[in-house]
Amino acid sequence: MVHAINHLNETHQMGLESWVSSANGHDTFPIQNLPYGVFKPAGHQQARCGIAIGDYIIDMHKLSSEGLFTGLAGEASKALTDETLNRFMALSNNAASAIRLALSQALRIGSQHKNALTRALVPMTDVAMQMPCHIGDYTDFYSSIHHATSVGKLFRPENPLLSNYKWIPIAYHGRASSIYLSGTQVTRPKGQVSVDSNQPPLLKPTERLDYEVELGVFIGENVSPFDSVTMTHAEQHAFGVCMLNDWSARDIQAWEYQPLGPFLSKNFMSSISPWIISSEALRPFRTAMQREAQDKPTMDYLFCEQNEQHGALDIQMECYLSTAQMRQNKQPAKKLSQTSFKHSFWTIAQMITHHTVNGCGLTPGDLLGSGTQSGASPDEAGSLLELTAGGKQQITISDAEKRTFLQDGDEIELRGFCQNESGLRIGLGSVINRIIPNHSPQQPKATDEHFSL
């Protein structure tokens, strides 16, 4: 039985405490979270699936050898002995719920399994995080009406929101092979740029490098080719979420995007945070969609009452910038914006439903990007394109520095977290990347720094 998307159970209880003391009061990985990731322990070449709890990771390869779990939880535990999460993601939501419940109970104060789990704990400081799964395909949506309207005003002030926007979850297929993990350096991309409309374009590194604050949605249970998913079943195919930065070269994009949309301006890099927060962990942060009555979907296949009442997610999304000079002077990063995913015009269920309505299959590990998330106010803008009015207005970063777009040495961090009225808080962690000049044809390389969250 697949529970309603807002169904809460004992794993969500506010008062749960763990014998892993660092988890109690942890603002990212308390016992109510239990996100999934892949890591390599220090001195090991083989990747392991793990689950975060406080300042530690449960090595599921080690834990599975203890033979603690049976039934669906045991099946899930075995799937978590692989080097990626894909086999586990392919299981039913019931299997994921079973291992979440079993681990929640085993991690609570008074658990009889404390010794077995203690042997499987690895300090986060002793690991290198890896890509959580093999990403077979990647689709990037355009789900924020505030972002779409703000960008539209820059180019079409008389008609900022195109007529199809409120009818269809707009998206384009991106490049799965250029999705990288937090900590990977961003090599400034190059492409064709039109500097003067009376002259031929130039091939050059972008001068308008930008970030985009997005939510990444991982597909779990398979959608077979030529099948289509209904709104009432779409969420069962959403395994979980992460933070996603869809890096963009705005000057390259301006030249190439007509008539077929972005290409080199987007496919050089998108980056994700290493931990996948399960759909079940997000249930306490469900909320009603924020739409005017006239904006409810006219197409029946994109509407169901459960989605209207509980389809939105109140995930807080923050963006921080630190420059090379700021780091040298030991200044804290500058907070550029904060918004919530609850403002999204289209929900995760609607994205999945529309993606499959024509018979397009989805496989475990496929990634959907939400598109840039922005709110109604200027300080909720999810990109520099909006914050600087298309590069026309500089923003102050520190006493000595201003920006319209990103410079070499700049470092962008996107953070995500959820907190409800009861005070329950879980985190998505963060995705951090630093920009380096375009002086080499080599692929981007990860830095020596560990960006664990």
Convert the pLDDT of each residue in 61-95 to its tens digit: 999 999 999 999 999 999 999 999 999 999 999 99
Please report which residue ranges of 134-260 form alpha helices under DSSP H: 145-155, 250-256
Helix (H, G, I), strand (E, B) or coil at 82: coil
Convert the pLDDT of each residue in 196-208 to its tens digit: 999 999 999 999 9
Average pLDDT over residues 365-378: 97
Does the pLDDT value for residue 368 go beyond 80? yes
Does the pLDDT value for residue 171 go beyond 80? yes
Convert the pLDDT of each residue in 284-311 to its tens digit: 999 999 888 788 888 999 999 999 999 9
Confidence of residue 3 (pLDDT cuts 50, 70, 90): low
Cβ partners under 8 Å of residue 374, min gap 6: 144, 146, 147, 150, 213, 337, 339, 343, 380, 381, 382, 383, 386
The answer, yes or no, to whether the previous bond of 441 is cis (omega within 30 of 0) is no
pLDDT of 404: 98
Which listed residue (12, 26, 61, 147) is catalytic? 147
Find, among 89, 95, 321, the residue nearest to 217 by Cα: 89
pLDDT, the chain, mean:
94
Confidence of residue 441 (pLDDT cuts 50, 70, 90): low
User: Which has more pLDDT, 264 or 449?
Assistant: 264
Confidence of residue 450 (pLDDT cuts 50, 70, 90): very low
Establish whether 147 is a catalytic residue. Answer: yes
Average pLDDT over residues 328-345: 97
pTM of the model: 0.95
pLDDT of 4: 81
Confidence of residue 44 (pLDDT cuts 50, 70, 90): confident
Does the pLDDT value for residue 365 go beyond 80? yes
Average pLDDT over residues 366-372: 98
β partners of residue 40? 128
Give the C-alpha separation, 85 to 51, whole Å.
11
